[in-house]
C-alpha cells in the first residue's frame, strides 16, 4: 500500500466511526451476555445506568424517519408529474426507493432502541 493513501484511509475510517457513533448508541453499552455471573450482573447494572441516552437516540431516529418519509412523498409527487420514459422519472424512482428503504431501516432502529430502553428499564436482575 502506498504511504500517501494511509492517512486518507485512516481519516475516512475515523469519520465513518464518528458518524456511526452519532447514529447508534450501542457502543456506550457493555455486553451483559458474556463472562462470569458477577461480570454479567455488573455489565447489566452498568447498562441500566446508561439507558437514559436511549430516548434521545429514539427521537433522533424518529426525525430521520420523518425526513425519509417526506423525501419519499416529494419524490413520488415528482414521479407522477414526469413521463415514465424520461431519465428524470428513473432517477426519481431510484431515489424514492432508496428513501423508502431508509425509512424502513430507521423504523427498525427505532424499534430496537425502544425495546432496549424498555428492557433495561423494567427487567430487573
In the structure, what pLDDT confidence band is assigned to residue 53 with cuts at 50, 70 and 90?
Answer: very high
Higher pLDDT, 72 or 9: 72
The model's pTM: 0.82
Residue 89 pLDDT more than 70?
yes
- CA-nearest of 86, 83, 26, 78 to 51 is 26
Residue 32 pLDDT more than 70?
yes
Domain ranges of the chain: 5-122
The confidence score (pLDDT) of residue 41 equals: 93
The confidence score (pLDDT) of residue 103 equals: 97
pLDDT > 90 fraction of the chain, expressed in percent and rounded: 62
In the structure, what pLDDT confidence band is assigned to residue 3 with cuts at 50, 70 and 90?
Answer: low
Q: What is the DSSP string of 92-122?
A: HHHHHHHHHHHHHHHHHHHHHHHHHHHHHHH
Longest dimension (CA), the chain: 65
pLDDT > 70 fraction of the chain, expressed in percent and rounded: 95
Amino acid at each position: 500500500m502506498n504511504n500517501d493513501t494511509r492517512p486518507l484511509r485512516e481519516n475516512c475510517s475515523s469519520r465513518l466511526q464518528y458518524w456511526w457513533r452519532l447514529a447508534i448508541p450501542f457502543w456506550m453499552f457493555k455486553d451483559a451476555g458474556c463472562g462470569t455471573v458477577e461480570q454479567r450482573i455488573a455489565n447489566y447494572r452498568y447498562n441500566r445506568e446508561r439507558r437514559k441516552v436511549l430516548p434521545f437516540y429514539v427521537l433522533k431516529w424518529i426525525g430521520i424517519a420523518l425526513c425519509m418519509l417526506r423525501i419519499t412523498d416529494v419524490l413520488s409527487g415528482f414521479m407522477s408529474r414526469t413521463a415514465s420514459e424520461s431519465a428524470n422519472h428513473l432517477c426519481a424512482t431510484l431515489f424514492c426507493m432508496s428513501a423508502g428503504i431508509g425509512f424502513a431501516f430507521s423504523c427498525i432502529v427505532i424499534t430496537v432502541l425502544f425495546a432496549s430502553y424498555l428492557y433495561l428499564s423494567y427487567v430487573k436482575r
